[in-house]
Amino acid sequence: MLLKLVLNSSAHCAQPIRNSYRVCSHMQGSTRRMGVMTDVHRRFLQLLMTHGVLEEWDVKRLQRHCYKVHDRNATVDKLEDFINNINSVLESLYIEIKRGVTEDDGRPIYALVNLATTSISKMATDFAENELDLFRKALELIIDSETGFASSTNILNLVDQLKGKKMRKKEAEQVLQKFVQSKWLIEKEGEFTLHGRAILEMEQYIRETYPDAVKICNICHSLLIQGQSCETCGIRMHLPCVAKYFQSNAEPRCPHCNDYWPHEIPEVFDPEKQREAGISKSNKKSLRSRQH
Amino acid sequence: MLQKPRNRGRSGGQAERDSDWSRGGNSGASRAGEHARARRDGFAEEAPSTSRGPGGSQGSQGARRSQASPAVGPRTQKQQELKVSELVQFLLIKDQKKIPIKRADILKHVIGDYKDIFPDLLKRAAERLQYVFGYKLVELEPKSNTYILINTLEPVEEDAEVRGDQGTPTTGLLMIVLGLIFMKGNTVKETEVWDFLRRLGVYPTKKHFIFGDPKKLITEDFVRQRYLEYRRIPHTDPVDYEFQWGPRTNLETSKMKVLKFVAKVHNQDPKDWPAQYCEALADEENRARPQPSGSAPSS
């Protein structure tokens, strides 16, 4: 009992200030009315910031939690409206809650991104100079690659060229794992690509810094790291964009050159199906344990 | 660690930022107020490109901006807003690590050439932190030129389920030590602290499965974060130290709150400790009275 109390207590015991006043909306030249910030939104922002990136279902859960704490009886806003409201307030700070989609299976994700800086600044506070440079090197290899993946070997071979304190290959391996844990990179069979978080945060920076090397999706016109390409004309598409574009199309053809699309068409992401799959998986688990 | 990357980002980035920024282009005709402000500043500027955001609510502040124009180039509304944004993010990140933020660091890493309008920038940042995030920027002690953020939202048990980090699992240990210090008359010897903690299975020399290194936590981390004061007691042999509440504790919690915590742990009522209860009541009254030196950031 003591331990539970001890773990649940907090030194941050200030009186909550219930602020929900509307800021004047006669912003010079602005046609958009600035939103209203209440404690529901503030708690949401505070807790969202503890995640680097969050999946949509968890974002909705977070939203419901914040309503429960501050405004039990209110109807929960539609997530899109809720976030747009917050973003209209964040605008003045040049940050926003950005929605993206994972490149491999089209799951919607959210991150609080900086709109103003054109650098990898968010990483700058958690990593040393040489670690940041390692990331930059990996980033360049990923962008230049055909598949969107850079092999561990190729990245580690650049360890001598890093700025800052000298880093050994063994150390660099651990730094790469740090990037994976903090969701800047994804690792698949010894190769690395950008996590959805990195794409959300750094798309602008990447497009401006590597304008010749970047690949763009033919459908959504956003930055493309992983995707499928037409073997005839070379245009590229994100896997989720392919899924949507060719949905229930028996004869998929390249939107640019009309040649037959040679790749397997992935399924469109369905949040309901994903949750069911998650539940049935956990049911199987509990069954297994009962059998012991 | 924070310095170099930020500097590089800033010096290179500043020019990029301004030239690449095309958002403000369609703000249309600027109002008379904007022009008047620009003229007052003594800078020949085109209509400020971005005029959204708290520019409106800050309008009155802007009008009162100092007339002194430094030798540096013109600063548009947008450039100032960007600075405020940088400052807000800097404060949020620093506070996440529970390190009190020194004014010198703010000036060095964020403000730079904008030093002359620093008080205005800080005020605007504080306002944004409060309105947008629910954090209050306060000075640790009057005239200390160090700041911390106080959460104006009451933390709730269920927050732990939706957080992305572990919060601060060490907070429990801190609360115990704070409680001990208060109940023992606001000062306690280090030897007494360990005698007490031993009963909970926390030892100075043994690794703890939740708290890690309790000795380092209590004598270094909590002290650095200004929750505790740790002073050597002169003429003691072997050397002994004493603990008291640090300035951050008084800002983030109160004697009454800590007493309530202690009471809860013992499954009793705060009034069961009359002396401490009286002291806590007096402290509450003191807090209710308006402070002569405000806790708002001073220049």
- pLDDT computed for residue B75 by the predictor: 78
Length of chain A in terms of residues written? 292
Cβ distance A266 to A243 under 8 Å? yes
Interface contact B92-A30, CB threshold 8 A? no
Test the B interface: residue of A1, A2, A5, A6 with most B CBs within 10 Å:
A6
pLDDT, chain B, mean: 77
* Residue range(s) defining the domain that contains residue A155: 121-213
Distance between CA atoms of residues A37 and A21, nearest Å: 8
Same domain, B164 and B245: yes
Long-range CB contacts for residues A264-271, cutoff 8 Å, separation at least 24: A266/A105, A266/A106, A266/A239, A266/A240, A266/A242, A267/A243, A268/A106, A268/A240, A268/A243, A268/A244, A269/A101, A269/A105, A269/A106, A269/A107, A269/A108, A269/A240, A269/A243, A271/A56, A271/A57, A271/A108
Residue B13 lies in a domain: no
- Residue A95 CA, distance from chain mean position: 15
- pLDDT computed for residue B38 by the predictor: 36
Interface contact A119-B13, CB threshold 8 A? yes
Instruction: Report residue B75 as tokens.
Output: 């600063």
CATH number at residue B169: 1.10.10.1210
Length of chain B in terms of residues written? 299
Which comes out higher in pLDDT, residue A126 or B193?
B193
The average pLDDT across B147-175 equals 82
- pLDDT computed for residue B197 by the predictor: 94
- pLDDT computed for residue A87 by the predictor: 96
CA distances for B279 relative to A10, A143, A196, B175, B286, angstroms: 21, 64, 54, 18, 11
- pLDDT computed for residue B56 by the predictor: 37
> Where among B98, B120, B151 does a domain terminate?
B151
Residue of A nearest to B89 (CA): A93
Chain A contacts of B265, Cβ < 8 Å?
2, 5-6
Phi, psi of B189 (to 5 degrees): -80, 155
Residues in CB range of B169: below 8 A, 6 or more apart: A7, B210, B211
Residue B86 lies in a domain: yes
Same domain, A131 and A161: yes
Q: How many CB pairs below 8 A link A and B?
A: 201
Residue B225 lies in a domain: yes
Instruction: Report residue B143 as tokens.
Output: 């005239």
Chain B contacts of A45, Cβ < 8 Å?
132-134
Q: What is the count of structural domains for chain A?
A: 3
DSSP A253: B
The distance of B31 to chain A (nearest Cα, Å) reads: 7
CA distances for A117 relative to A124, A133, B15, B21, angstroms: 12, 18, 11, 10
Helix (H, G, I), strand (E, B) or coil at A31: coil
Same domain, B161 and B243: yes
Interface contact A125-B85, CB threshold 8 A? no
Helix (H, G, I), strand (E, B) or coil at A100: strand
From A210-224, B9-23, B226-240, the region with the lowest mean pLDDT: B9-23
- pLDDT computed for residue B29 by the predictor: 38
Residue A144 lies in a domain: yes
**CB nearest A7 (choices: B54, B82, B172):** B172
Residue carrying the six token digits 């899109």: A80
- pLDDT computed for residue A199 by the predictor: 95
| Model confidence, pTM | 0.72
Residue B17 lies in a domain: no
Cβ distance A184 to A41 under 8 Å? no
Distance between CA atoms of residues A38 and B171, nearest Å: 27
Closest alpha carbon to B147 in B79, B98, B74: B98
Residues in CB range of A246: below 8 A, 6 or more apart: A252, A261, A265
The average pLDDT across A18-26 equals 41
Chain A contacts of B31, Cβ < 8 Å?
28-29
* Residue range(s) defining the domain that contains residue B168: 157-253
> Where among B102, B128, B151 does a domain terminate?
B151
Distance between CA atoms of residues B235 and B233, nearest Å: 7
A283: confidence class by pLDDT, cuts 50, 70, 90: low
Residue B4 lies in a domain: no
Closest alpha carbon to A226 in A277, A259, A268, A191: A191
The answer, yes or no, to whether residue B298 has pLDDT greater than 60, is no
Chain A contacts of B174, Cβ < 8 Å?
11
B14: confidence class by pLDDT, cuts 50, 70, 90: very low
Distance between CA atoms of residues A196 and B32, nearest Å: 44
Q: Where are the beta strands (DSSP E) in chain B?
A: 101-102, 135-139, 146-151, 188-189, 228-233, 240-245
A71: confidence class by pLDDT, cuts 50, 70, 90: confident
The distance of A42 to chain B (nearest Cα, Å) reads: 5
- Provide the β-strand partners of residue A193: A186
Interface contact B27-A25, CB threshold 8 A? no
Same domain, A131 and A169: yes
Residue of A nearest to B78 (CA): A92
Test the B interface: residue of A7, A51, A92 with most B CBs within 10 Å:
A92
DSSP A147: S
Residue B293 lies in a domain: no
The answer, yes or no, to whether residue A200 has pLDDT greater than 90, is yes
Closest alpha carbon to B178 in B277, B257, B60: B257
The distance of B216 to chain A (nearest Cα, Å) reads: 19
CATH number at residue A194: 1.10.10.10
Distance between CA atoms of residues B123 and B84, nearest Å: 9
The distance of A240 to chain B (nearest Cα, Å) reads: 27
Same domain, A200 and A184: yes
CA distances for A78 relative to A60, A75, A83, B30, angstroms: 9, 9, 9, 35
> Where among B253, B269, B293 does a domain terminate?
B253
Distance between CA atoms of residues A182 and A135, nearest Å: 12
Q: Is the ipTM of this complex over 0.85?
A: no
Chain A contacts of B128, Cβ < 8 Å?
92-93
From A15-19, A151-155, B232-236, the region with the lowest mean pLDDT: A15-19
Interface contact B200-A2, CB threshold 8 A? yes
The answer, yes or no, to whether residue B223 has pLDDT greater than 90, is yes
Instruction: Report residue A276 as tokens.
Output: 């069911």
A52: confidence class by pLDDT, cuts 50, 70, 90: confident
